[in-house]
């Protein structure tokens, strides 16, 4: 099957590269891709024809078997395509070899609950300022990760030392009586999620006292070691905070707010960690005072839509990157992290 797949995919790519613009236009006309996807694919620069075809094919294959069938049907029935690419008639086109991929390692998610999701929501700061809209972000994240089987712990308005203490406790589960009912035992499952909603500077998130807690220190609390039950398990950190004061080119601010507080961002060296930050370094993270931050809005929408399809977290964050200008994702995950919704 793998050999068949390689032959068919290569042949289709080679043939369609003869006029990739025709294929792109036909695919868009038949509503196999969205207007945004069409514009993104059309605007790819510094790439040869085969790269354009590869990107288009990847978009379609990621939409599942039905879209794949529609695409193959288009290749076989459209008059202009048949006339332009007569060699297609010699191929036996099937979705099976196109959709079949080599088996990749996936993190095993079997525990119930799946694991802990800690949300630190800093809204009210000691100087009297507020991060309006952050409560909606916190609620949306809690809803999504509860549906994905996580036990959610919500921590609100923590200063730097309280953030540090809370995360240290969570990492070791040493003493969480300040945050949950002492009668309710906490256990780490097969995955861990930490989301911090706050102001920030380059490489740090701020407590409500505006003192900085480096993101690097946060992730290191959960690094794998012989004593940690999280060793070898995926640990995801979602940070809604500015990394500077620059506004990304093309962003229309209007009534938006930024999560800055006018240090380089580093990827953790430890394995099995993913850090997704709302913006690239030196830039501001945009937040709507009513609807919440752009990053968290998009993230929650994409998780709701794509987790039920079995898509992995890195692939989902690619869609967030495409939708929001412009988060930054860095990871040392060794396998795919797939989080299917849990039945209630």
Domain boundaries, the chain: 2-99, 115-331
Report, as residue numbers or ranges, the catalytic residues.
199, 242
Domain 2-99 and domain 115-331 have a common topology: no
Residue 266 CB neighbour total at 10 angstroms: 14
SS3 label, residue 170: helix
* Cα 180 off chain centre by: 28
* Cα 324 off chain centre by: 11
Distance, first Cα to last Cα, the chain? 38
What are the tens digits of pLDDT across the range 272-295? 999 998 764 544 545 466 666 888
> For 164-173, 195-204, 322-331, which range has the lowest pLDDT when averaged over its residues?
322-331
**CATH code at 2-99:** 1.10.533.10
pLDDT at site 18: 84
pLDDT above 70: residue 268: no
pLDDT above 60: residue 157: yes
Q: Which of 286, 266, 168 is nearest to 222 (CA)?
A: 168
* Cα 263 off chain centre by: 24
pLDDT above 80: residue 3: no
Mention the CATH class of domain 115-331.
Answer: alpha beta
Dihedral sign from CA coordinates of 326, 331, 337, 342: negative
Q: Are 268 and 332 in contact (CB under 8 A)?
A: yes
Q: How far apart are CA 73 and CA 67, in angstroms?
A: 10
């Amino acid at each position: 099957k793998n050999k068949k797949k390689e032959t068919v995919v290569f042949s289709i790519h080679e043939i369609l590269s003869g006029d990739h613009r025709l294929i792109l236009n036909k695919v868009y006309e038949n509503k196999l891709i969205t207007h945004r996807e069409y514009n993104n694919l059309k605007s790819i620069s510094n790439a040869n024809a085969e790269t354009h075809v590869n990107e288009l094919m990847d978009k379609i294959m990621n939409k599942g078997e039905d879209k794949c069938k529609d695409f193959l049907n288009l290749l076989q029935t459209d008059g202009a395509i048949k006339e332009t690419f007569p060699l297609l008639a010699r191929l036996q086109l099937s979705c099976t070899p196109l959709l079949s991929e080599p088996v990749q390692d996936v993190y095993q998610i079997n525990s119930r609950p799946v694991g802990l999701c800690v949300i630190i929501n800093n809204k009210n700061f000691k100087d009297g300022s507020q991060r309006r809209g952050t409560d909606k972000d916190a609620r949306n994240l809690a809803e999504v990760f509860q549906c994905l089987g996580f036990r959610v712990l919500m921590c609100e308005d923590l200063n730097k030392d309280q953030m540090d203490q809370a995360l240290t406790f969570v990492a070791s589960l040493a003493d969480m009586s300040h945050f949950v009912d002492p009668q309710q035992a906490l256990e780490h499952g097969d995955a861990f999620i930490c989301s911090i909603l706050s102001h920030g500077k380059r490489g740090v998130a701020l407590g409500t006292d505006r003192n900085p807690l480096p993101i690097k220190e946060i992730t290191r609390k959960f690094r794998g070691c012989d004593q940690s039950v999280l060793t070898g398990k995926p640990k995801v950190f979602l940070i809604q905070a500015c990394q500077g004061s620059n506004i990304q080119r093309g962003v229309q601010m209007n009534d938006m707010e930024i999560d800055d507080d006018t240090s380089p961002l580093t990827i953790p060296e430890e394995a099995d960690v993913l850090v997704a930050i709302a913006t690239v370094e030196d830039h501001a993270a945009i937040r709507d005072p009513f609807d919440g931050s752009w990053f968290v809005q998009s993230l929650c929408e994409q998780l709701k839509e794509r987790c039920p399809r079995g898509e992995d977290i890195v692939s989902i964050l690619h869609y967030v990157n495409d939708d929001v200008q412009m988060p930054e994702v860095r990871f040392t995950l060794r396998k795919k992290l797939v989080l299917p919704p849990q039945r209630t």
